[in-house]
């Protein structure tokens, strides 16, 4: 009599057994076996997790368990990205201490994640808010500073005057602080910067070698780094330059070949020269102010309008001292890119053209499109930005775009009025935050010694516990005594830095700390970390495609260059997989409020609000989020259906990189599968265990052979699917194998043996996905060790091989029949069989066979007419 698989009993039992056996502890990396470092992006402990979060962890776990079974020494750790704003917001809103709130959440989330049954080495757990962690981060900061990789600089920031804090760009909504609603000001503040640009060239070039990263992510990073080659050109000001300003204006361009098409210079509204002139001329000041008001907020709304003001200056053309051009200030020129000034070449740039047309500035086309007629080619409202042949360009006439660029630069360098330059979009990383819940920056400001690093033996600089969040601003700055210290150099009264580090710093090296998480004297032992790194498989969301991944790439290079790490190419993650999200329908009541899935009843596609009985509106599929209430609680689901069902479902149906839609029906399907595997194992497992030892009579023919073949073919396919991150296909293969086992009826020794073998293989191939069920089945099959630590089986080539093939036969490309022949049969024989095949003969009636194409073991196509 079969019983139900009892996940509620089984799952905790195996989790305990795994933990107690120490089966998932990573061994020292110098052991015999090859290493596999598998890592999922560690979470911010925001509280409870829902089924959507489980997909990321499950994918990592499948890889990790598979690698272990394949004989690798696996490192699969988990920890907490524990500093950050939400903890401070909780403190402001509810009066809880950020630390207490964070550790409380960690406790809750850990218990939830543990229930998923992942094979984490929990001994390596870390939290970035732990002084034992940030101590090393502070020491590292000081090393970077000494090496010139960290420095201080005045920088423009978004300042919220009500909350007295700096805001990240994402926290500025429509020009206002997201929390206070106050209009955000631009302020110049002293900020600590990390010199990411020192590695710009390498960060870009090395992307090419990251062939196990998604192309999309590499492209996004390439764009973000934004290398562009061109020239810097100095334009001499006609007459006296305004007082205090240099005599020439520097401009960056990627198209020096179009210099003879220049019609004006345009400066950013906050270019130093614009500011100088604005001090004297009100209309320029007014223009600059109107640009500043637009600022970050509505730039995109106003993007179409090109506006400017004539600054009343003139400059000389570098190639012709007689040629004078006007200088304007323009709203489309960015002070933060290049030199904050451009030369306008309207025929070859749409913005320049719009601007020239708006203000009636004359221009000449200088690039002739291929095949265009030089006498009639003209530009009116559409610029020609492609390559072509230069004309109207004196000594550049007749040159291609590329040759023209080279020739123009050569000339500029000869004249001393410019040179080849490379500019980057990438800028240094500002890491100062006026926040409490972050890693304190370990420096002291002394009135006589300047900025002094906190001596290493005094680290960590701990956050004070007794802080109040009753007032806006940084609690560290107004703490009664925390910041008052004596200078480590001269013992004079001094103050601590009260800024803390951007939390992206915390997550830029945690993967290295995991290799040696208990080390008290160093962030990690150099040899140990160097042996484990790079991470062999990193799994996470695309939302981190640029910042987190780029910062980590910077950090591993910096750590290498200050002598902490041996990592030749500096790359932290050898392979990256970006997984899709779990999405769910959203529901809204007639009254317009969001409804959770359990608050509605779905009948014939119409959602009904249970409480009121009124129809509810079904919204689009969206990422599970608390605010839209379209979440399925993990604990509740695990309690009702089990962790294995969650794991199976989130990997079924959709390819891992694409989103998967959560549905109750789909989850039930996964549940049915689990039950089906169990009932088959329960029914046939014990018998299989008894006969499994010696070759059973009859297992090499008929139905028994077919079942054995199905099992070995499934094994081969699933192995390849896991290696290729095609988990949805592995799931489908597993269904097929279960169907095959269920179909094989009978009790003769051959079938019993084949069934036992198939169940054994099935248990092993599902074990990375359904680890608890697999252990239970493994035990039922009579094995006395964990399936989790049992070596992955190898398919028998004789059973995988197909002996005969079914060939479709086409007549003029249309399928007219099929024949089953021995594999490898000669083309002549196949041809003869095909032409004699009944349906083919009928289809060929009254037609002449002109050609017969035989693709061995694939298809036959007869061309007739």
Measured N-to-C along each axis, helices 749-766 and 771-780 cross at an angle, to the nearest 10 degrees, of 150
Minimum CB separation from RNA for residue 360, in Å? Answer: 19
How far apart are CB 59 and RNA at their closest, in Å?
15
Q: If 0-12 CB within 10 Å is exposed, 13-18 middle and 19+ buried, where does residue 300 land?
A: exposed
Q: Which of residues 817-846 bind RNA (CB under 7 A)?
A: 818, 839, 843
The residue written with tokens 């499109």 in the block is 369
Restricted to residues 156-215, the positions that interact with RNA (CB under 7 A) are 215
* φ, ψ of residue 476 in degrees (nearest 5): -65, -35
Can you say how many angstroms the Cα of residue 804 is from the centroid of all Cα atoms in its chain? 45
Over the window 319 to 348, marking each residue x when it contacts RNA by CB under 7 A and - when it does not, the resulting string is ------------xxxxx-xxxx-x------
Nearest to 88 by CA among 100, 97, 79: 97
Please report how close the Cβ of residue 465 comes to RNA at its closest, in angstroms.
37
Contact status: 254 vs RNA (CB under 7 A): yes
CA-angle at 285, arms to 283 and 287, nearest 5°: 70
Contact pattern from residue 220 through residue 249 relative to RNA, giving x for each residue in contact according to CB under 7 A and a dash for the rest = x--xx-x-x-x-------------------
Residues between 615 and 654 with contacts to RNA, criterion CB under 7 A:
652-654
Separation between Cα atoms, residue 536 and residue 514, nearest integer Å? 14
Select the span of 499-507, 591-599, 629-637, 736-744 touching RNA (CB under 7 A): 736-744
The first and second tokens of residue 191, run together, are 């900020």
Q: Which of these, 684, 709, 705, 706, lies nearest to 695 by C-alpha position? A: 705
Query: Which is closer to RNA, CB of 340 or CB of 534?
Result: 340
What x-and-dash track marks residues 435-474 binding RNA by CB under 7 A?
----------------------------------------
Residue 570 CB partners (closer than 8 Å, separation 6+): 199, 202, 206, 553, 556, 557, 560
Identity of the residue, 340 or 771, whose beta carbon is nearer to RNA in the bound complex: 340
Minimum CB separation of residue 437 from RNA in Å reads 25
Residue 79 or 656: which CB sits closer to RNA?
Answer: 656
Of 567-606, which residues contact RNA (CB under 7 A)? none
Nearer to RNA, 113 or 325 (CB): 325
The nearest distance, CB 78 to RNA, in angstroms, is 27
What is the C-alpha separation between 647 and 72, in angstroms, rounded? 23
Judged by beta carbon, residue 36 or residue 722, the one nearer RNA is 722
- Burial label for 147, CB within 10 Å (0-12, 13-18, 19+), is middle
Mask for 488-527, x = binds RNA (CB under 7 A):
----------------------------------------
Residues 536/574, Cβ–Cβ less than 8 Å: yes
Lookup: tokens for 303? 């993007």
Does residue 51 sit in helix, strand or coil?
A: helix
Main-chain dihedrals φ then ψ at residue 744, nearest 5 degrees: -75, 100
- Which 260-289 residues touch RNA, going by CB under 7 A? 268
If one asks whether residue 777 binds RNA (CB under 7 A), the answer comes out as no
Strand residues in 636-744 grouped as ranges (E): 660-661
Residues pairing with 74 in the sheet: 36
Identify the H or E element spanning 68.
helix 54-69
Distance CA 532, CA 39 (A): 12
Q: By the 8 A CB rule, do 260 and 394 touch?
A: yes
Within 10 angstroms of residue 862's Cβ, the number of other Cβ atoms is 24
Contact between 420 and RNA per CB under 7 A: no
Peptide bond preceding 817: is omega within 30 degrees of 0, i.e. cis?
no
Report DSSP letters for 187-216, one per residue. Answer: EEEEEEEE-GGGGHHHHHHGGGG-TBS-HH
Q: Which of 504, 508, 428, 505 is nearest to 197 (CA)?
A: 428
Tokens read off for 698: 């009859």
Choose between 377 and 676: whose C-beta lies nearer to RNA.
Answer: 676
**Residue 731 interacts with RNA (CB under 7 A)?**
yes
Using CB under 7 A, count the residues that bind RNA. 80
Dmax over CA atoms of the chain, in Å, equals 109
Q: Any contact of residue 16 with RNA (CB under 7 A)?
A: no
Of 139-147, 441-449, 628-636, 661-669, the window that binds RNA (rule: CB under 7 A) is 661-669
Query: Could you say which of 457, 813, 846, 848 contacts RNA (CB under 7 A)?
Result: 813
β 418-424/537-540 pair status: unpaired
Indicate which single residue of 208, 481, 845, 851 sits in contact with RNA (rule: CB under 7 A): 851
Binding of residue 290 to RNA (CB under 7 A): no
Stretch that binds RNA, among 124-132, 410-418, 656-664, 779-787 (CB under 7 A): 656-664
- In 341-400, alpha helices (H): 350-359
Q: Which of 658, 701, 801, 823 binds RNA (CB under 7 A)?
A: 658
Of 30-38, 123-131, 448-456, 723-731, the window that binds RNA (rule: CB under 7 A) is 723-731
Nearest distance, CB of residue 730 and RNA, angstroms: 10
Q: Which of 611, 661, 723, 802 binds RNA (CB under 7 A)?
A: 661
Q: Does the footprint of RNA cover residue 742 (CB under 7 A)?
A: yes
Binding characters for RNA, 26-55, by CB under 7 A (x = yes): ------------------------------
- Closest distance of CB 216 from RNA, Å: 5
Q: Which two tokens stand for residue 658?
A: 């694409």
Q: Which of 100, 293, 490, 853 binds RNA (CB under 7 A)?
A: 853
Of 70-78, 250-258, 398-406, 780-788: span binding RNA (CB under 7 A): 250-258
Out of 806, 822, 836, 847, the residue judged to bind RNA by CB under 7 A: 806
Please state the closest distance from residue 507 (CB atom) to RNA, in A.
Answer: 18
Angle, CA 238 vertex, CA 232 and CA 242 arms, to 5°: 90
Q: How do 493-496 and 443-446 pair as beta strands? A: antiparallel
| Distance set, CA 756 to CA 234, 730, 741, 761 (Å) | 82, 21, 9, 9
- Taking CB under 7 A as the criterion, the residue among 154, 303, 394, 639 binding RNA is 303
Tokens representing residue 543 in the block: 């939302």
Pairing of strands 264-267, 320-330: parallel
CA 132 – CA 146 distance, rounded (Å): 22
Rounded to a whole number of angstroms, the minimum distance from the CB of residue 338 to RNA is 3
**Please, what is the minimum distance in Å from the beta carbon of residue 289 to RNA?**
15
For residue 93, the minimal CB distance to RNA (Å) is 28
Q: By C-beta, is 464 or 666 nearer to RNA?
A: 666
Question: Does residue 859 bind RNA (CB under 7 A)?
Answer: yes
Cα separation, 638 vs 649, in Å, equals 12
Q: Which of residues 93-132 bind RNA (CB under 7 A)?
A: none
Handedness of CA 415, 416, 422, 426 (dihedral sign): negative
Q: How far apart are CA 396 and CA 392, in angstroms?
A: 8
**Choice between 106 and 741, CB closer to RNA:** 741
Q: Is 766 in the site for RNA (CB under 7 A)?
A: no
Query: Which of the residues 670 through 689 are near RNA (CB under 7 A)?
Result: 672, 675-676
Among 16, 153, 216, 636, binds RNA (CB under 7 A): 216
| Residue from 728, 833, 835, 844 binding RNA (CB under 7 A) | 728
Least distance to RNA from the beta carbon of 318, Å?
A: 15
Residues 342-381: x/- map of binding to RNA (CB under 7 A)?
A: x------x-x------------------------------
Query: Tokens for 422?
Result: 């490379």
Kindly tell me which residue out of 250, 302, 411, 569 binds RNA, with binding defined by CB under 7 A: 302
């Amino acid at each position: 009599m079969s019983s139900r698989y009892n996940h509620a009993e089984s799952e905790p039992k195996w989790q305990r057994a795994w933990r107690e056996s120490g089966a998932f502890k990573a061994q020292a990396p110098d052991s015999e076996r090859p290493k596999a470092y598998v890592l999922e992006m560690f979470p911010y402990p925001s509280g409870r997790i829902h089924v959507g979060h489980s997909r990321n962890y499950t994918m990592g776990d499948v890889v990790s368990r598979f690698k272990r079974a394949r004989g690798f020494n696996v490192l699969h750790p988990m920890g907490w990205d524990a500093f950050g704003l939400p903890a401070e917001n909780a403190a402001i809103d509810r009066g809880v201490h950020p630390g207490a709130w964070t550790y409380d959440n960690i406790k809750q989330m850990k218990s939830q994640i543990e229930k998923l049954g992942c094979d984490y080495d929990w001994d390596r757990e870390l939290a970035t808010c732990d002084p034992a962690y940030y101590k090393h981060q502070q020491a590292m900061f000081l090393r970077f500073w000494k090496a010139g990789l960290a420095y201080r600089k005045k920088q423009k920031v978004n300042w919220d005057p009500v909350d007295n804090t700096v805001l990240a760009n994402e926290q500025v909504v429509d020009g206002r602080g997201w929390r206070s609603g106050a209009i955000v000001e631009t302020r110049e503040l002293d900020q600590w910067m990390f010199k990411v640009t020192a590695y710009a060239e390498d960060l870009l070039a090395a992307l090419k070698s990251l062939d196990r990263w998604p192309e999309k992510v590499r492209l996004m990073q390439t764009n973000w780094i934004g290398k562009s080659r061109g020239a810097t050109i100095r334009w001499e000001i006609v007459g006296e330059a305004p007082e205090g300003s240099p005599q020439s204006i520097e401009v960056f361009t990627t198209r020096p070949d179009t210099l003879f098409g220049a019609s004006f210079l345009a400066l950013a509204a906050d270019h130093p020269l614009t500011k100088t002139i604005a001090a004297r001329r009100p209309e320029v000041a007014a223009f600059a102010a109107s640009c500043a008001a637009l600022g970050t907020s509505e730039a995109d709304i106003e993007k179409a309008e090109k506006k400017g003001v004539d600054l009343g200056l003139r400059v000389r053309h570098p190639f012709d001292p007689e040629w004078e051009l006007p200088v304007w200030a323009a709203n489309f020129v960015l002070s933060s890119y290049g030199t904050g000034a451009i030369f306008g070449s309207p025929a070859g740039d749409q913005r320049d053209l719009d601007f020239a047309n708006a203000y009636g500035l004359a221009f000449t086309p200088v690039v002739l499109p291929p095949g265009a007629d030089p006498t009639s080619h003209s530009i009116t409202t559409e610029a020609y930005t492609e390559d072509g042949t230069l004309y109207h360009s004196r000594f550049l006439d007749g040159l291609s775009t590329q040759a023209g660029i080279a020739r123009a630069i050569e000339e500029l360098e000869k004249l001393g009025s410019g040179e080849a330059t490379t500019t980057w979009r990438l800028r240094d990383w500002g890491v100062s935050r006026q926040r409490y819940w972050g890693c304190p920056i370990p420096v002291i400001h002394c009135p006589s010694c300047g900025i002094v690093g906190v001596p290493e033996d005094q680290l960590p600089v701990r956050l004070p516990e007794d802080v109040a969040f009753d007032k806006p601003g940084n609690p560290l700055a107004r703490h009664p005594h925390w910041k008052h210290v004596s200078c480590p150099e001269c013992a004079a009264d001094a103050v601590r830095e009260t800024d803390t580090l951007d939390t992206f710093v915390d997550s830029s090296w945690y993967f290295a700390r995991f290799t040696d998480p208990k080390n008290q004297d160093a962030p990690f032992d150099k040899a140990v970390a160097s042996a484990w790194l790079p991470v062999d498989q990193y799994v996470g969301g695309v939302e981190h495609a640029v910042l987190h991944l780029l910062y980590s790439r910077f950090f591993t290079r910096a750590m290498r260059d200050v002598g902490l790490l041996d990592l030749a190419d500096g790359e932290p993650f050898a392979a990256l997989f970006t997984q899709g999200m779990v999405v769910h329908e959203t529901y809204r009541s007639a009254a317009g409020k969001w409804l959770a899935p359990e608050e509605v009843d779905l009948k014939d596609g119409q959602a009904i609000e249970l409480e009121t009985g009124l129809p509810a509106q079904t919204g689009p599929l969206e990422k599970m989020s608390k605010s839209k209430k379209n979440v399925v609680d993990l604990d509740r689901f695990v309690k009702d259906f089990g962790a294995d069902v969650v794991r199976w479902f989130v990997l079924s149906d959709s390819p891992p990189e694409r989103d998967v839609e959560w549905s109750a029906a789909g989850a039930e399907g996964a549940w049915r599968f689990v039950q089906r595997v169990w009932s088959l194992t329960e029914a046939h497992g014990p018998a299989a265990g008894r006969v499994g030892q010696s070759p059973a009579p009859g297992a090499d023919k008929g139905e028994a052979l077919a079942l054995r073949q199905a099992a070995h073919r499934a094994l081969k396919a699933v192995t390849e699917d896991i290696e290729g991150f095609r988990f949805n296909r592995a799931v489908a293969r597993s269904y097929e194998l279960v169907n095959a086992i269920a179909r094989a009826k009978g009790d003769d020794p051959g079938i019993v043996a084949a069934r036992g073998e198939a169940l054994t293989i099935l248990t092993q191939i599902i074990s990375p996905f359904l680890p608890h069920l697999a252990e239970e089945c493994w035990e039922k099959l009579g094995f006395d060790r964990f399936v989790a630590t049992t070596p992955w089986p190898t398919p028998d080539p004789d059973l995988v091989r197909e002996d005969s093939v079914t060939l479709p036969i086409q007549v003029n490309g249309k399928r007219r029949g099929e024949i089953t022949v021995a594999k490898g049969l000669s083309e002549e024989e196949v041809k003869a069989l095909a032409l004699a095949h009944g349906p083919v003969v009928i289809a060929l009636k009254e037609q002449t066979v002109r050609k017969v194409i035989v693709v061995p073991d694939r298809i036959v196509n007869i061309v007739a007419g």
